[in-house]
Structure 1
Amino acid sequence: MLEFKPLTIEDKDWMSVYYRKKDVSAAQFSFAANYVWRLAYPMAVSEEDGFFFAKVQIKEGYSFLCPIGDGDLDKAIGKIEEYCRENGLPVRLHGILEPDKEKLEQIYGTRMVFKNNRDDAEYVYEREALANLSGKRYHGKRNHIKRFMDNDWGYEPITEQNIEECVSMQREWCRQNGCASDDDKIDEGCAVMLALRNFFKLGFKGGLLRQNGKVVAFTIGEPVGNSTFAVHFEKAFSEIQGAYPAINQLFVQSEMEDFRYVNREEDTGSEGLRKAKLSYHPAFLLEKYTAELIG
């Protein structure tokens, strides 16, 4: 039977091998992302018979990633079935991409019930579109960036010399945005801090913006798959006009030349986030499904 252990930093190398094999644009297939969100979504992992298994604690109980590996997916799912049966758990999967959904439908037919939650869809953009912001539909973005650049400003990659300024900015951002009284912001704030504190160990890339010498925006991301760069976090002070579109464009221009796509993750159902993400005109939405085995 599968034996799960809590995710630790020591799992990075072997898990990353499986994620590289997966080679998809989904931001969830990242050890670094799993690691920094582990306080909000505790993950336990297992490796058996050439497959990687992950069990995640969610509000409803536990859910599993679709097994990743080479070999018989039917047998791999069977191991999850056995584990759930022995532990009195429902067989529940999440983060299922369309190709895996099709495989699972072939195996289980109507015994596996799928749900597609629009809030979980990841926004994927053409890198060139975000780097250039060309054409009428990006006119407003270019104007906001111009206003930001009318002031004394500078862009820098995040380094050992300036990362503590990002930590200080994150603390100030949380104070200004009421993180202490909002559970979702607390969870995200913890994830951002873990990303900053383990930035180099986890292989992140990042950039920051200064205005009049002060850090007013920063962003953190990493490659996922062979052709996509995922932006995991982006923070700016809302009173600094143009800081958000400026850090977005400059980070893409500076760090993503070798990639075709930029994944800016899901909107989690936030109306404001959805409007902002759609305003950049995604190339496509990466749909993800949940599933539960019945009968």
Structure 2
Amino acid sequence: MSSKFKPITLNDKPLFDGFFRKHPQKISEYTFTNLFCWRRMWNYRYAVIDGHLIVESDEKQGPAFYPPVGPDPAGMIKALSKEYPDWHFSMVEEDVALKLKDSFLVRKDEDQRDYVYLTEDLRALPGTKYSVKRNFIRRCQQHNPEVCALSDERVREFIEMQERWCDEHKCLSNNQLTSEDDAIKQLLTNHKKLGVLGVCVTINGQLEAFALGEPINPSTYIEHFEKASVKYDGLYQFVLHEFAKSIPPQFKFLNREQDLGVAGLRKAKLSWHPVGYVEKYSLLPSASD
């Protein structure tokens, strides 16, 4: 870990947001909310170097940098690699990775690519390709679900629903789910300061599903988390549909993040018919360097 870098705190949000506004990003990792909420799992730290925002993380393969945010990310990657020759770069977008294919070993990370959908498709569920989703939603509607929104008054209900979900899925025996639980609670506790919006669903007076997200760039909204009780058939389909309906109309696309190589998650994300992906690459030190 470099001494130049410091931990991410809520007070850093204006700095990060300023960089992301000036240099719009596509990868799901690059919202302040994502970095703040997952900071404990990945030990995120940051620095501003030569006009670029640099984020470092602890990964299984060793210390890594995320792609620099600034006017010349490829040039900054080359500069950082000279100072930190044993580090690698992860979550690098395709256009930057291809510029550096002669200087690094470039590896495509299929498990990390983000799924991108037309927001209007998930609002309208048009045509035969969405007929199964419409059927699931009709099943859920038989339970008279009521749609609500994240608010200070409902935070406790969101957290209680997340805790029930964790009990159902045995989060304590799964490190990834334990970290996700922490990230969700970080988001809910700080939702106003983070600027995150949320849709919730109650059935028989109890909150049984939620989806949480925010804008990531001028044309794209991102869904950070989506949870639903296993008690009600079609509830996941219903909450995503309602979340899409809540997204302001200027956001043409919805990024629903990656599948992490989990077969069931991959199948579920593909079933909603993505129109594209945000491909990500790792850049590894070249053996010839």
Same fold (TM over 0.5): yes
Aligned partner of 1:149 in structure 2 is 141
Q: Match of 1:81?
A: 81
Q: What's the CA shift for 1:14?
A: 0.7
The one-letter amino acid of 1:39's match is: R
**Mind listing any 5+ residue stretches in structure 2 that lack a counterpart?**
none
- Measured in 2, the distance between the counterparts of 1:116 and 1:17 equals 29
Where does residue 238 of structure 1 map in the other structure?
230
How far off its partner does 1:144 sit? 0.8
2:96 maps to which residue?
100
Taking the aligned partners of 1:277 and 1:120, their CA distance within structure 2 comes to 13
- Output the amino acid matched with 2:77: I
Q: CA deviation at 1:20?
A: 2.1
Q: Distance in 2 between matches of 1:272 and 1:31?
A: 28
Aligned counterpart, 2:71:
70
Deviations 1:35-72 (A, max 9, x none): 10111111110012211111111112210012111258
Given that 1:124 and 1:262 are in contact with CA atoms closer than 8 Å, whether structure 2 keeps it comes out as yes
Q: Percent identity?
A: 31
Deviation at 1:15, TM superposition (A): 1.2
Q: How many residues align?
A: 286
| 1:119 corresponds to | 111
Cα deviation per residue 1:182-234 (whole Å; 9 max; x = unaligned)?
11111111111111111111110101001111100011111001100000100
Asked whether the equivalents of residues 146 and 201 of structure 2 are also in contact (C-alpha less than 8 Å), the reply is: yes
Supply the AA of the counterpart residue of 2:60. Answer: K
Q: Show the 5 A alignment for 1:193-204.
A: 193-204=185-196
Q: Which amino acid aligns with 2:51?
A: G
Give structure 1 regions of 4+ aligned residues with deviation exceeding 3 angstroms.
Answer: none
Give TM-score, length-normalised by structure 2: 0.95
For 2:72 and 2:238, locate their aligned partners in 1 and report how far apart those are by CA, in whole Å. Answer: 45
Q: Which runs of 5+ in 1 are unaligned?
A: none
Rounded to whole Å, the distance in 2 between the matches of 1:118 and 1:91 is 21
Alpha-carbon separation, structure 1, partners of 2:37 and 2:136: 31
Matches of 1:72 and 1:285 in 2, distance apart?
A: 21
Contact 2:91–2:281 under 8 Å retained in 1: yes
| Aligned alpha-carbon RMSD (Å) | 1.6
In 1: Cα distance, 2:228 partner to 2:25 partner: 29
Among candidates 184, 187, 199, match of residue 179 of structure 2: 187
TM-score, normalised to structure 1, is: 0.93
The answer on whether the counterparts of 1:2 and 1:79 sit within 8 Å (CA) in structure 2 is: no
- Which residue of 2 is the match for residue 44 of structure 1? 45
Secondary structure, aligned partner of 1:161: helix
Distance 2:26 2:198 in 1: 19
Whether the 8 Å contact between 1:2 and 1:83 is mirrored in structure 2 is no
Residue 163 of structure 1 aligns with an amino acid whose one-letter code is V
Say if 1:153 and 1:213, in contact at 8 Å, map to a contact too: no
